[in-house]
Amino acid sequence: MKLTILGCYAATPRTLTNPTSQVLELNNELFLIDCGEGTQVELRRNKVKFSKIKHVFISHLHGDHFFGLIGLISTFMLLGRETELHIYGPKGIKEIITLQLKMSKSWTSYPLYFHELTGREPEVILETKKVTVETIPLDHRVYTNGFLFREKPGDRKLLMEEVEKYPIDVAYYRGIKKGKDAVLDDGTVIPNELLTADPEPPLSYAFCSDTAYKPEIASQLKNVSVLYHEATFLEEHAYLAAPTKHSTAKEAAAIARSASVSKLILGHFSTRYDSILPFKEEAKEIFPEVELAEDGKNFSFY
């Protein structure tokens, strides 16, 4: 699992900071999460292959999370894309995009599907061969969802030294990896647990931005591998976080601790701060496994 941060700053694009966008690579599938202005250029800068992006998730309709989407869709068209593209986002996203395509007399050369979200409870919105994606309803000034990406469990691992003790034909290996017992020619049953070990635990990634502190999400996030949680402010500016429905670094860390995640990544920093290092210090006091997002930064998780 690999995460590329294209932008992780709040509110407005600037010369040195980009609004929210990130690319999650999970089981060789690419998912684009949020798409602030300038995302297509950051995708190029980070050498992300456009054609590999088939699913785009938009958390909410504030500009720093979606103003780059129409440009990306148009560029895909100008490049002659043929692969289908799926957009998941709040109701309204379809009207915004199609109005602009209509006005510019431009229609996409590729199938473009919108999956508009209105639910207030977590729901699975995508299931691919190896990954499921569910919404994480958040609490912000407009309708907002986070997204939880879960690897599906892999096959059980063959314990070859055990398997080879028995006359089992290789043709049966696939079934054993799927959990079946082995039945020998003489009818003897070799229980699966003797022949296999548990697969690697599936990885999972939760994206939670933008949101006020919402402790209830911790149950849905229980034991996820990596949680990206917004931390627009430091605790000293909690009085700004509350009315704007954002979180502080401390609050993000409290969610991580409560959900027992393996790793917390903080992002969506207000551009008022000259240094983002205090975000890490503040969160660390509550949850030690914390990292800071940074535009252009790559994270790998195994």
Return the SS3 of 102: helix
Whole-angstrom distance, CA of residue 22 vs CA of residue 13: 15
Residue 45 binds to a copy of itself (criterion: CB under 8 A): yes
Give the ranges where the chain is alpha helix by DSSP (H): 39-45, 63-66, 69-78, 93-103, 160-163, 173-177, 192-195, 217-220, 238-244, 249-259, 277-284
Q: Which stretch binds a copy of itself (CB under 8 A): 72-80, 215-223, 240-248, 289-297?
A: 72-80
Return the SS3 of 245: coil
Residues 4-33 interacting with a copy of itself (rule: CB under 8 A): 11-15
User: In what helix (H) or strand (E) does residue 235 lie, and over which residues does it extend?
Assistant: none
Specify the residue, 40 or 204, whose C-beta has the smaller distance to a copy of itself: 40
Q: Minimum distance between the CB of residue 67 and a copy of itself, rounded to whole angstroms?
A: 5
How many helices (H) and strands (E) in the chain? 11, 18
Q: Minimum distance between the CB of residue 44 and a copy of itself, rounded to whole angstroms?
A: 5
Whole-angstrom distance, CA of residue 270 vs CA of residue 12: 9
Specify the residue, 42 or 251, whose C-beta has the smaller distance to a copy of itself: 42
Residue 100 binds to a copy of itself (criterion: CB under 8 A): yes
Which residue of the set 64, 155, 169, 274 is catalytic? 64
User: Which of 40, 135, 196, 248 contacts a copy of itself by CB under 8 A?
Assistant: 40
DSSP label at 8?
Answer: -
Q: Contact at 8 Å (CB) between 133 and 146?
A: no
Specify the residue, 16 or 170, whose C-beta has the smaller distance to a copy of itself: 16
Whole-angstrom distance, CA of residue 40 vs CA of residue 42: 5
Residue 68 binds to a copy of itself (criterion: CB under 8 A): yes
Residue 95 binds to a copy of itself (criterion: CB under 8 A): yes
User: Which of 8, 23, 26, 38 contacts a copy of itself by CB under 8 A?
Assistant: 38
- Six token digits for residue 67: 């103003």
| 64 annotated active-site | yes
User: Which of 25, 41, 242, 297 contacts a copy of itself by CB under 8 A?
Assistant: 41
Residue 104 binds to a copy of itself (criterion: CB under 8 A): yes
Residue 272 binds to a copy of itself (criterion: CB under 8 A): no
Q: Minimum distance between the CB of residue 12 and a copy of itself, rounded to whole angstroms?
A: 4
Of the candidates 55, 57, 204, the one whose C-alpha atom is nearest the C-alpha of residue 117 is 57
Q: Which positions make up the binding site for Zn(2+)?
A: 60, 62, 64-65, 140, 210, 268
What amino acid positions are annotated as catalytic residues? 64
Binding-site sequence positions: 60, 62, 64-65, 140, 210, 268
